[in-house]
Structure 1
Amino acid sequence: MRAVVINCTLKPAPQPSNTEALAEVVAGELRERGVEVESFRAVDHNILAGVQSDMGEGDGWPRIHRSLLDAQILIVATPTWVGHPSSLAQRVIERMDAMISETDDEGRPVAYNRVAGVVVTGNEDGAHHVISEIAGALGDIGYTIPGQSWTYWHLGPGPGPDYLDSDKGRDWSGKTGRAMAANLFAVAEALAAKPVPVPPQ
């Protein structure tokens, strides 16, 4: 089984990423279950604006798109900015919109029989809003969203230290992240055993 993590931090590598650190808790639990995990930091790829899977020369999205099609699990990880997902998270979702009309050999949308979850970090509130926005979009695209397939770390209202700077709440975020991984894995296995059928015409 394969998983893809798309980290939508605004920080290019090698800058430390709070979002990457929490996403790695989930990825680590998946690896413990034998899942191969590939991670992308979206800011390090030239993801052009648009709603097609390939926008032509110089577009960095096609490589990520191929990885999505090879994976059974997707994790979208984003910081919260002014109560919303990062601009890169929005761009990723916009590029994934093309997958709604892409079908497999049997006529199913390509996101069918794949599961997805969300990781959110930030030193402000708004985590549940961000989770809802991304999970809702992924469901529209065709992914199955298992129960409790998210985790987050938020300091609370107002500015303050980040995930990597504070121990506050990290135990809860880690426990929730490991549960998220277990739920994603279990539902991915169930879908592999009994796939969602081709939609009726």
Structure 2
Amino acid sequence: MKHTLNSIQKQWIEENETDFSDLKALFLNCTLKKSPEVSNTAGLMSLSQQIMKACGVAAKMIRPVDYDIASGVYPDMTEHGWDKDEWPDLQKEILDANILVIGTPIWLGEKSSVANMVIERLYSFSGKQNKKGQYIYYGRAGGCIITGNEDGVKHCSMSILYGLQHIGYTIPPQADAGWIGEVGPGPSYLDENSGGPENDFTNRNTTFMTWNLMHTARMLKDSGGLPAHGNQRSLWP
């Protein structure tokens, strides 16, 4: 989806003096819908992606549901009884990104089953270390985007952001954004006359989240990640 950026969003992009062109962002859309079915979560995530691209960030969106991902908490589940596991391929994309944004619809007040699986599989790599002896996800920025037509935006955000920071991601201020329609049966984000793409509160939060992720990733990369003192797993017996 191509969003019509408002005057403030356009102004901030035009006035930006920070070089983000060496940064990469990965958007994991944890919809239950396989491509190319319309995803409302992708619709909102594309706003953040569009702003990042306009600022020079290489921003890519993937649907994990399009992959054959095994359940489990080990890096490669084919070593634990599964015939196939495409998570290691997706993990390479994750580790290549400076920014990770997890998006999910709300079902029964919770993030999707795909989002749960993604968090579990991210966790499966969390024991690995970078060149400084820190946990592998150190030095990366993380955020989340939630959509739905039932309550739960903050609840889902809380769960996802906790998981990301626990495994090593740096969470900037205002690192979540979301949209919900009328609670109960009703229009979804991309439905005609839903009001989602025009919602000022959602657009503002998504814009703030996007810039905070870019600024945080910029600072982390420029400083070589988090200082490697007092947090090196390699030095702990």
* TM class by smaller structure: over 0.9
Amino acid at match of 1:196: L
Tell me the SS of whatever aligns to 2:31.
coil
Equivalent residue, structure 2, for 1:162:
188
2:99 corresponds to which of 42, 61, 73: 73
Q: Whose relative contact order is higher, 1 or 2, with alpha carbons under 8 Å and at least 6 apart? A: 1
Distance 2:124 2:35 in 1: 28
> CA shift at 1:171, angstroms?
3.2
Equivalent residue, structure 1, for 2:20:
none
Distance 1:34 1:40 in 2: 19
Distance 2:41 2:141 in 1: 20
1:13-28 → structure 2 map (5 Å cutoff): 13-28=35-50
Larger Rg belongs to: 2
Equivalent residue, structure 1, for 2:227:
197
Amino acid at match of 2:101: I
Describe the superposition over 1:47-104 as per-residue Cα deviations: whole angstroms up to 9, x where unpaired: 1101122222521111110011111000000000000000000000000112220101
The answer on whether the counterparts of 1:43 and 1:88 sit within 8 Å (CA) in structure 2 is yes
1:80-95 → structure 2 map (5 Å cutoff): 80-95=106-121
1:47 corresponds to which of 69, 74, 79: 69
The answer on whether the counterparts of 1:108 and 1:197 sit within 8 Å (CA) in structure 2 is no
> CA shift at 1:156, angstroms?
3.8
Query: Given the two structures, how large is their TM-score scaled by the length of structure 1?
Result: 0.96
Distance 2:84 2:24 in 1: 26
Tell me the SS of whatever aligns to 1:100.
coil
Distance 1:41 1:170 in 2: 25
> CA shift at 1:157, angstroms?
2.3
Equivalent residue, structure 2, for 1:185:
214
Distance 2:63 2:154 in 1: 22
Equivalent residue, structure 2, for 1:121:
147
The answer on whether the counterparts of 1:19 and 1:120 sit within 8 Å (CA) in structure 2 is yes
What is the number of equivalent residue pairs in this alignment? 201
Amino acid at match of 1:174: N
1:107 paired to 2:118: no
Percent same amino acid at aligned positions?
A: 38
Contiguous gaps of at least 5 residues in structure 2:
1-22
Tell me the SS of whatever aligns to 1:95.
helix
Distance 1:6 1:78 in 2: 9
Contiguous gaps of at least 5 residues in structure 1:
none
C-alpha RMSD of the superposition = 1.3
The 4+ residue runs of structure 1 with deviation greater than 4 A are none
Tell me the SS of whatever aligns to 2:170.
coil
Distance 2:140 2:151 in 1: 29
